[in-house]
Amino acid sequence: MRIALAQLNLHVGNFDHNIQLMLDALSRAKRAGADLVLFPELSVCGYPARDLLLSESFVNRCLHTVEQIAGHCNGIAAVVGGPARNTGKPGKKLYNSAFLLFDGKVQFVYNKGLLPTYDVFNEYRYFEPATSFQTFDFGGQRLALTVCEDIWNIGEHPMYPINPPDMLQSHKPTVMLNISASPFAWNHYTERMRILSATARKYRLPLFSANLVGGQTDLLFDGGSAVFNSRGEMIDSLPQFTEDLCVYDLQEVETATAQPIPSIPGGTGKCALIRDAIVMGIRDYFRKTGIKKAIVGLSGGVDSAVTVALAVEALGKENVWAVLLPGPHSSDHSVTDAVFLAERLGIRYDTISINDTVVSMEKSLQQHFKDTESGIAEENLQARARAVILMALSNKFGHMLLNTSNKSEAAVGYSTLYGDMCGGLSVLGDVYKSDVYGIARLINKEREVIPESTMTKPPSAELKPGQKDSDTLPEYEILDAVLYRFLDEQKDAETIIGEGFDRAMVVKTLKMISGSEYKRYQTPPILRISPKCLGVGREMPLDADYKTICEPVKTVSRTN
């Protein structure tokens, strides 16, 4: 048997687009001699469809699309993902299913058993979990179909009480097929490959996995579809961040040369992955929303510089407009650095001073601010003046404003609500400041695009004379180390302090995180590139009376 992996960039709800992509892949695979094509999870409607799955008409269109694709499956089979109706038991109305199509019709349906409800996932909101699992004989092979999470319940600490591959194993399958929509995080590819390897090795089956690629709002999917032999050795993987189709001979997989599973990247490798993911995310968000052009406030700092450079890479220089917004405390080098970058990238740029706007706002508030000391409220008027101008330009010309805040700032609330937090898409909101510099160095690898002075000057919001970020925050190398441990690794304060960090600094940092949750409820969609994003997947109550800081734990003794 020859099996094709079709790694496609599907679009939620765009059925015509998805059908065309799948039929094109089916045609190419047939010409290449494939017997069966494997498409990603929920491929007919795109993933994640979220509350569209609550719409009866949407589900009807999904099922109709399955029938349309089945009509083209003559001389070749396909496994496509989509919702199936639950007609046989109490519970949710739908299953998350894999349909095997052949001879113009649906021959077999496998329903997903393990429905993730953690981090970015909420599948049990829509689907009923299957509790029984069957194989299907096709082309002289006994196929064990699985859907994404179904093969992840492996290892010493299983999350679910059942394990679909264990139940499929009793039917003596000869090959395992997995359709997947596994989101990207910079360290996740290695983890996914290890799971696939462990599954193939445990059940002594060759394993073929087709994973989704592309951006869908804030979730990014990197592809990396893969093939493993029955010894758990990786035979091949498709490239990340791009569509691809490859055909494999099942028998040759067992004798092919194995490839090493890449280790989790660090340093430059990590930043390169993040850069590629963000570029794909920007490009797909604009393409899928139908918006053509981006506008960015260019400050002369590293965050806006990296945002503009990545936007140009994703959209083309003709589709990016930079606006310089100098204010009363902007330094000369901030303006010259911004101009240097814009001219190096070849993009349109304009300069609009906010001085008159700020003066007018201060005059309007003069009566109400009298007898008070000038402080953060006055500083934030500058950030909000910039936002008003940028949003006015966005509104007038239909361009999308890209937000430039990084994860370090967003985590501790070092940002202005309705000011520099504005925008239609947060490009760097899941990227720590240290990694922003790493991406900047990659952008400058061939030639100086981002001015060296931008890279070396102390970061500053430039909202008051001589201001530096370090006046308020720890140095970013230290701050990011604490934030990573707390947010990504979910370590508590005492554990972080026990690793050698200053107690007062850790307590202050965690208080800032807790105190700024309300701001993050109002941010634009954040492109997710880490295991724990401050956007999708993070759910924190705003009015809870529990703060994640160093407080002694009160123990209560109980007597009978």
Q: What is the residue whose two structure tokens read 């409607």?
A: 45
148 is known as an active-site residue: yes
Query: Which parts of 46-189 are beta strand (E)?
Result: 77-85, 94-102, 105-111, 136-138, 141-147, 175-180
360 with 488: CB under 8 angstroms? no
The Cα 528–Cα 517 span in angstroms is 18
Beta bridge partners of 79: 38, 100
Residues 6+ apart with CB under 8 A from 266: none
Catalytic residue among 112, 293, 407, 433: 112
Nearest-Å Rg of the Cα atoms of the chain is 26
Residues 6+ apart with CB under 8 A from 111: 84, 95, 96, 97, 128, 130
Pairing of strands 207-211, 213-216: unpaired
Question: 3-class DSSP state for residue 233?
Answer: coil
- DSSP label at residue 317: G
Nearest Cα residue to 258 out of 193, 211, 195: 193
Catalytic residue among 30, 41, 45, 433: 41
Catalytic residue among 73, 148, 246, 533: 148
Dihedral, CA atoms, 238, 242, 243, 249, nearest 10 degrees? Answer: -10
Q: Which two tokens stand for residue 249?
A: 């001979």
Beta bridge partners of 215: 220
112 is known as an active-site residue: yes
**What does residue 362 show for φ and ψ, rounded to 5 degrees?**
-65, -35
Question: 3-class DSSP state for residue 80?
Answer: strand
The Cα 223–Cα 315 span in angstroms is 21
The Cα 166–Cα 135 span in angstroms is 12
41 is known as an active-site residue: yes
Pairing of strands 400-403, 294-297: parallel
Could you give the residue numbers annotated as active site? 41, 112, 148
